[in-house]
Structures are given as structure tokens and as C-alpha cells.
Structure 1
Amino acid sequence: MNKIFVLDTNVLLHDPNALFAFKDNEVIIPAVVLEEIDSKKRNADEIGRNARVVSRLLDGLRELGHLHSGVPLPNGGTLKVELNHRSFLKVQEMFGEMSNDNRILAVALNYSLEQQDLDTQKPIVLVSKDVLVRVKADVLGLMTEDYLSDQSVRSGDELYTGYQTVLVHPAVIDEFYTYRYLQIKHLQLQMKLYPHEFVILKDEMGTSKSALLKVSADGTKLEPLYLSNDPVWGITARNAQQRMGLELLLNDDIPLVTLSGKAGTGKTLLALASGLLKVEDERKYKKLLIARPVVPMGKDIGYLPGEKEEKLRPWMQPIYDNLEFLFDTKKSGDIDKILLGMGSIQVEALTYIRGRSIPGQFIIIDEAQNLSKHEVKTIVSRVGEGSKIVLMGDPEQIDHPYLDSASNGLTYLIERFKQETISGHVMLERGERSKLAQVAADLL
């Protein structure tokens, strides 16, 4: 049976293509949603961009007929801008205030009441990314759903980690140490392996015998890690996942690297140390470009005084903290003098990366979990010839109002690129910042 989906504003501001995501069902856009989208279209951020995209899509659909009467969609469904069903009396009994959210609820409720009087009833489903709107809808007896069509994975447990542990006969481990490679097809593994994925072989007999290997670019062999565990700008890998990360970061044949993990697992420090080695010591790249999105945690503190560099400093301070550690600076302000003297390290906000072409640089994007799919596409498509880009973040620590662990740009990038030979990923799990930081990441 076909359904009627009533869309909340936040669904369209999150993904303008949600208009076409409901197959052959009927999509209803309450009139108040158009008002809210219109109020956002002048914003200079991602929400403003999405509001403008929705406006253009609706304007294009007008050519197929009157939106208030309903127009056909390419997937066989219909779209309608609802001007009726706006009576607020039923909702007012439960929620007195005539807010925009309650007006959207009123449209869905009136549709539901109307369907009860028909011989052939269609289920009414309110789709919203606002948890409280879904709670209110449930109180009113309405069916409600989160918008999940854009999620890269179904749950956090299914996130690609970049490595697997395999129990094998000890003779297999001995064979690897003898010949320095293993043919994957001969192992008869039950799981799928991706290019540059890491494999930890452990003895199924329970001994301490083990080996750390990496899938070859063509996906046919398990090979040893090419890098030793020597320090990189004073940083030595403290666990197997950090060693995997350095293997990817220092491999010039892998232009796209993604790192995920909880706070304190060493993502930023490893990336910066690798970038400094490649730029300053090996001269493989001409510049180290470090950027992060300007998304506040908690309430925004408002406008900041000063020139661009002074305004950016509070947002970029986590980067400077790591650079101070790597350069072992003693006094406040020393890192600024070092960076000014070197000239090959640039710290930017992502706002200033749009529209650029960036060749021959080692690019680090921190806090990438706060980016949308479109923003990640915009950034990665800026990478020019001879550049390497590293995106990292914690998908469980998101400050963006319309993103979650399964729909953010970092998760999307990891899932879409895991089969590509030009990319590599590893999830760092063990905290190395301090014992306190590790316990806090696990418990809080």
C-alpha cells in the first residue's frame, strides 16, 4: 500500500534530494516548510546552500504542473505543497503554542484524520530529523520516522575499521615470515578484504604467535608493512592501529587517507608528524596545509576581534597545541615565530578552501565528522596533482545539528572509498593521550 510522507523542514535542509527519496509514494510539503526554507536561503553556510537547492528543485517541478495540486516525480511518486489541512485545533489541545513545528504536526494529524474516513486508507508518516518532533508526533498517535536514506551505514557497529583479526593455523604465520607474502585466495577467508586493509593474523591454537600484514593494492596478496617502527618527528606508534595509520600516512602511493577514532587516540598528532616529515625532511610536498571546520561545541561565543589570523586562532588552537608538542616549544608565542620562519605550514579554516585548486601539498582536514557529504565532496575535489589529503575525526562527536554518526561526510567518504586502490583507512581505538582521557572517552 502506498504511503503519504509529510516532510519536516530539517529533512530538506539536510538533504535537498530527499524530495526524490520516497519511491512511488506521495510526498507532502506543508506550506510552513516553504516559509522556513525561504528564511534560510540567504545563509552563507551549508544550510543556506541546501535551502537554495530545494528552491531550485521545486521551481523546476513547477513546470510539470501546479505544486498545490500535486506533480509527478521521476520515481513514480507525487509531490504536493499542502495549503489545506492546516487547522490547529487538534494539536492545540496537546501543544498550545502555534510554533512552526506544531504547524507541521497539524498538517500530518489532519491528513491522518481525513484518511480514517476513507474506504482505502493510506498510512501517514511524518519524517523529521528532530527527535522532539518525532516524540510529539507519537503523542498525537502519528507514525513517524527519522530520515535515513542518506546514511552510509545502518549503525555505528558497521563502520569500516580498516583492519581485521583472523585466526589461522600457526603454519600460515610461519609461511608468511618465510616468503614475506601470502596469497589471499589460498587462505579461504570468510570475509571480504579491501585494498590497503590491514590483517592481524593470530594463532588459532592460542599461542602468542602473530603477524601484521596489509592487503596489496590489487587485492590479491597479504604483504608486510614496509615501514619500520622508527620515530616520525619524535612520534613512535604506541599500538598496532597507530602503526597502521603511519603506514598509510607515509605511503606516497595512497593520496587519500582517512583516520577515525575517539578523542586522544593520536589522529591529529600522527597526521601532523607525517606531514612535517614529508614536507620538511623529504621535500615530497611543497606545503603542509592544515584546516578544520568552524563548528562550535556548545553555544557560539559570537564574533571575534582582530584580523583573519586572530579570529581563526581560537578555532585552530587544537592544531597549534599539537604543533607546539612536535616542535617542543618552551614559551608561548614560539610556535608562531617558527611557523612564520618556515613558511611551508599553513593553518586555515575550511571556509577559505572552497574554490581553490591545491596541487603538490600535504593536506590535513581535522574534525571532518562535522562536514556534510557535499562539503567532503567539495574539499576532496579540490585536491590537485601530486597532493595527498588526510581527513580525520570522531564520528561519535558531532557538533553539526543535522549530522549523525552514520550520515556525516567522514563516514560517507570512508564507506565510498574503501574499495578504491588510491585510498586507505584505519580506525584508532586505544587512547594514548593519558589514562584519564581514555577512561573519559570510554565512560562519558
Structure 2
Amino acid sequence: MPLPPAPTKRAATLAREAYDVVAKPVKKTGTSRAPKASANAAALQEKPQARNLPDAPVDLRREKPAQPPQESPKSTPASDKPSEAPARNRGVALLQEPAAKRKAPKSSGPAKLFVLDTNVLMHDPMCLFRFEEHDIFLPMIVLEELDSNKKGMTEVARNARQTSRSLDALAGSNGADIGIGLKLDATGHPEAGGKLFFQTQTLDYTLPTSLPQGKADNQILGVVEALRPLHPGREVVLVSKDINMRVKARALGLAAEDYQNDKALEDGEFLYSGALALPPDFWTKHGKTVESWQQGLYTFYRISGPIVPEMMVNQFVYFEAPGEPSLYARVTEIRAKTAVLKTLKDYNHLKHAVWGVTTRNREQNFAMNLLLDPEVDFVTLTGNAGTGKTLMALAAGLTQVLDERRYTEIIMTRATVSVGEDIGFLPGTEEEKMGPWMGALDDNLEVLAKTETSAGEWGRSATNELIRSRIKIKSMNFMRGRTFLNKYVIIDEAQNLTPKQMKTLITRAGPGTKIICMGNLQQIDTPYLTEGSSGLTFAVDKFKGWPHSGHIMLARGERSRLADFASEVL
């Protein structure tokens, strides 16, 4: 059918500047995803050497003889960026697959030997099964540190206990022999093809006299030093989350690297932005094949062509060009080589204000469409300070709780990670203890609670009381085991959550509940968390493309000109 006239109404909410597409996304060939390759294994590919392994005090021989020398296929290290890294542009979807997502070919040479530091085991108890065909060696001091850290209710103590249980299961499996190594796939992990070795004898090593011999870190370095001459045909690598430990190892000439498998993305620049800029020739190439129809207040477009494989469900697309009609839409359906786009509601206009709040730029309008859509159960918002994440989430929540009565109440929580020194124990009830952490809530409620001056002091007081009665502040420490029914849940400062904590919170959702996760990935205060391993990054990467979730990366700060300038230069 012929293409109807394109919408000529430019959304006043949206920013006037045009964004260029900085990278051509890689075409996706299917919905199934291969298992994630170990970044540690991929980063150490080398040509095998035809050497016979001498006898050693610690028997680390594999059951199968070494293969003849073959040319090892080239692999891309997980820590390297693609050769043509796109420039940073937060308004454009960077859909190029990161190097960590591409499965590296397995080496045909001898399996490498990874010596694990204690902090790796206490960070990820499942790390024993993440090294593919390579072997793992645990020094005796590591077992001692696990034993000393297993007591308590902290996350580290739980991980230490889980690691001990995994080691006990491996040692108790059928045919287990510590002398020749424990098969890592004996407990139902077929992806682990290597063996686990323990230090069963005293190893002879010499470290510089400047390193204290009794320190646990230096003992682990000594074990790595002792294993290298015992196994010249294999590469012995120390894996540690401790930066200083890796620096000392490299200073001694030892191979060392970070544990990479906990990272959802290798580089924060590859994080899914939730928006895709249509090319300047979009109407020229697709105008003759586009089908459109009207349904209520929205216009739908069915498009086909080479741009469809680059799209995902619930991804926002926009077209902005001088002298051309603008288009702002969301992908609602993808079938084969066709996609259906649905136009958006313009929340910049005062008649569409949400609890008195209007959006000020394109990304904010995208976010408000997600927050007010009842079919979207999970929304993630990322962006710098002052981009309006908390204000929009609260405004959308109050509208749906008090006006539309879609949800019964708003539940707000956040990670209680302080920026500086802790102020000690806080008195009062659970909600009173969370009060000092909820300054952002109070600041935004002050804006949302404003009423007309004619209402007077009584009117303002009644409004504040009504709002406060529908907002509950909860601590994350007491979330396990709970189920939220018909709640509007806001998780603030989600960048400080680990993937395990994020899973615990999201799985609390019952029927009719909507969860909003917000955070700034450049303000991570939790030790051992980075942009790639944060729980917020983990959730964005895993939920993208799901029909009932949406994500948008807010690009422009709207707090004040002072805050915007400070975010850029400080």
C-alpha cells in the first residue's frame, strides 16, 4: 500500500541537535547465544611447544599425552578492544559486539595452569568451573584463608562457604585422586574440561628479601615462581582481583591477570544504550516499502530492509535531519526481516505533564514512555548526575499509584554504600535508619509536592501527607524471601549492587509489580566492582530485547548549568 504522509509534527520535547551514527552494528544471526568463553583462557592463547614434561614433586600431568605441535588459531584477548573503537556517544546505540562476547577458539597446545588467589574464590564461588579446558592450582595458604573467612553473614563469608562445599564435592566424587588432580566436570559442569590440583608438597622458591616471607600474598607468589620451572611446557598464570598483587607479580616477571568472567561487558562503551539513530537516507531507501496504519492515538509502521537486524524489541529509534520530517518511535515487534514501529507520546507538552513534570530532551521522553507503559515490567535507567532519573521515576510512580491506581504503593530502596567514612549505627526503625540515605527522595518529593498557591498551607500539608503515605522506604538487607504484589519498586544507586544482589531484588517481583533500576555507572563506590561487572550493567545486558523490559541511557543533564559543567570538567 502507498506510504501515507510522514508525521510532520516535531516533538517539542526532544533535543534539536542531530546525532550521527558512530558505528555500524554487527548483524545478529539468531536468538540463541553460545556460552560465554572464559576471558582468562582467551587472553593467553599461544603456540604450543613440543616438550616433554619432567617429573615434578606435584604431579600435574594430564591423562592424555600432549598433542604434536600445531599452529594455534589466533584469538582476540578479552582485554583488547576492537581495532576500530567507536567514539563515545551516549545518544546512539553501540551495537557492535564486544570482544568478550565472541567465543575464542580453543588452543591445541598444552592446557595452561591458573593459580587462583583467595579473593577470586571469595568473589565468585563458581570460578572453579569458568576456565574451560585449562587446569587450576590452589596453594595451601589459599585454603587457610578460606577457612579463616568462612564465619559470618557477609557476602564474602557466604562465598567462602560455598567454595568450600564445591571443593568438598570435587574431592568426594567417584574416582577422585588428589595426587593426579580432580576432574572439574565430575560434579555436573561439563564446560570445565580441566583438572584441579592442590599443593600437597613443599615447593622450593626464592623471592627477594624485600618481600616478607610470612605474608599470604607473597607465599602465593612463591608458589607461582616454583611452578614455572617444574612445568616449562605450560604457561603458569596468577589470577587475582588484587591490583597490587598483580603489580608485584609482574615486577617479579610472573604472568598475572584479573578475573574477567564476572564482567558482563569488557568496556563500558559497548553498553546497550536503548536508542538507535536511523540513517540519513532512511526515508529514501525504506519509504516505498513502509506500511503504516493508525490505531488510536498512535501510528504504526512496518519496515523491512538491512536495518532491521540491528534493532531489538522495545528499542527506541529516531530520525532527525534538517528539512525532513522527524520520527520518534519504539520497536514493538520483530519477525524475520520485518519490524513494527510505534510512535511515542510527547511528554514535553504541558497537557501531557506527568504529576506536573514535563520532559526536556529526547532521552527523557523515551524514558517516560517506558515508565508509564503497563506492559513493561522492568525498566533500567542510566546516566550522569542530574539527568532526571529519580524525578521521572517518582513522578511516573505517583501518577500510576494515586491517579490511575495501577499499583498500590511505591517501594523505594537503595544500596547503602557511603562515599566517605561511615557515620556509625543509626537509631530508630528500619525506615528511620534509611532516612539519611534517602536524601534524593526528599529533594525530589519537594519538587513533586508543590501545589497552587491558592491551596494554602493546609493544601500543601495534605498533599505531602498523601504522598508520604504511599511511599515506603525499605532496606535491601531484609528483602530475601519477600514477594511484592502490585507494587511500584524503585531501586536507586543500583550501580553499587553485585549481579547476585540484583538477581535477589528482581526476583522479589510478584504479579502486577513494576521494577525500576537507576544508577550512574561512573559513580561506583563498592570495592571490586567496575562498570563491566556492576549488577546494573549485568541487568541491562541480560534484559535487552525482552518484550517486557526497556532501557534508556540518559545523555543530557537538566539539573543546572553548574551541575552540567561540573560533570564535564571535574
Q: What TM-score does the superposition give when structure 1 sets the normalisation length? A: 0.90
CA distance in 2 between counterparts of 1:325 and 1:39 reads 50
8 A contact 2:292–2:301 mirrored in 1: no
Alpha-carbon deviation of 1:161? 0.2
8 A contact 2:412–2:473 mirrored in 1: yes
Q: Which residue of 2 aligns with 1:42?
A: 151
Q: Which runs of 5+ in 2 are unaligned?
A: 1-109, 186-191, 294-298
Query: Is 2:193 the counterpart of 1:76?
Result: yes
Provide the aligned length of Structure 1 versus Structure 2: 434
- Equivalent positions of 1:342-361 (< 5 A) are 342-361=468-487
Q: Which runs of 5+ in 1 are unaligned?
A: none
Query: Is 2:297 the counterpart of 1:189?
Result: no
Query: Is 2:283 the counterpart of 1:153?
Result: no
Query: Is 2:343 the counterpart of 1:224?
Result: yes
Change (3 A) 1:325 1:60: same
Structure whose alpha-carbon radius of gyration is higher: 2
SS in 1 for 2:279: strand
SS in 1 for 2:136: strand
- Equivalent positions of 1:151-300 (< 5 A) are 151-169=263-281, 171=283, 180-185=299-304, 187-189=305-307, 192-203=310-321, 206-207=322-323, 209-218=325-334, 220-229=339-348, 230-300=352-422
Q: Equivalent of 1:141, from 253, 256, 268?
A: 253
Change (3 A) 1:177 1:235: farther
Alpha-carbon deviation of 1:171? 4.2
1:42-75 deviations in Å (ceiling 9; x for gaps) = 3323222222221211121121335575211112
Alpha-carbon deviation of 1:433? 1.4
1:296-332 deviations in Å (ceiling 9; x for gaps) = 223333323344333222222222222223224999x
Change (3 A) 1:109 1:300: farther
CA distance in 1 between counterparts of 2:415 and 2:203 reads 39
Change (3 A) 1:399 1:68: farther
Q: Which residue of 2 aligns with 1:21?
A: 130
What amino acid does structure 2 have at the position aligned with 1:382? R
Change (3 A) 1:183 1:94: farther
User: Which structure carries more helix by proportion?
Assistant: 1
Change (3 A) 1:143 1:354: same
Change (3 A) 1:32 1:303: farther
Q: Equivalent of 1:378, from 494, 500, 504?
A: 504
344-353 or 422-431: bigger deviation: 344-353
Over the matched positions of the two proteins, sequence identity in percent amounts to 40
CA distance in 1 between counterparts of 2:415 and 2:198 reads 35
CA distance in 2 between counterparts of 1:97 and 1:268 reads 51
31-40 or 412-421: bigger deviation: 31-40
CA distance in 2 between counterparts of 1:349 and 1:244 reads 30
Change (3 A) 1:193 1:170: closer
CA distance in 2 between counterparts of 1:256 and 1:335 reads 33
What amino acid does structure 2 have at the position aligned with 1:224? T
Q: Equivalent of 1:99, from 199, 215, 228?
A: 215
SS in 2 for 1:91: coil
8 A contact 1:323–1:335 mirrored in 2: no
Query: Is 2:523 the counterpart of 1:397?
Result: yes
CA distance in 2 between counterparts of 1:258 and 1:55 reads 35
What amino acid does structure 1 have at the position aligned with 2:165? R
CA distance in 2 between counterparts of 1:335 and 1:369 reads 34
CA distance in 1 between counterparts of 2:505 and 2:244 reads 33
Alpha-carbon deviation of 1:236? 1.2
CA distance in 1 between counterparts of 2:558 and 2:535 reads 26
CA distance in 1 between counterparts of 2:311 and 2:272 reads 11
Change (3 A) 1:113 1:306: farther
Change (3 A) 1:228 1:165: same
Q: Which residue of 2 aligns with 1:130?
A: 242
Alpha-carbon deviation of 1:184? 3.0
What amino acid does structure 1 have at the position aligned with 2:530? D
Q: Equivalent of 1:301, from 410, 423, 431?
A: 423
CA distance in 1 between counterparts of 2:213 and 2:525 reads 28
Change (3 A) 1:59 1:320: farther
Q: Which residue of 1 aligns with 2:491?
A: 365
RMSD of aligned residue pairs (Cα, Å) = 2.7
189-198 or 383-392: bigger deviation: 189-198
Alpha-carbon deviation of 1:217? 4.2
CA distance in 2 between counterparts of 1:162 and 1:280 reads 29
8 A contact 2:111–2:133 mirrored in 1: yes
Change (3 A) 1:156 1:324: same
CA distance in 1 between counterparts of 2:261 and 2:132 reads 11
Query: Is 2:234 the counterpart of 1:115?
Result: no
Q: Which residue of 2 aligns with 1:437?
A: 563
Alpha-carbon deviation of 1:354? 1.6
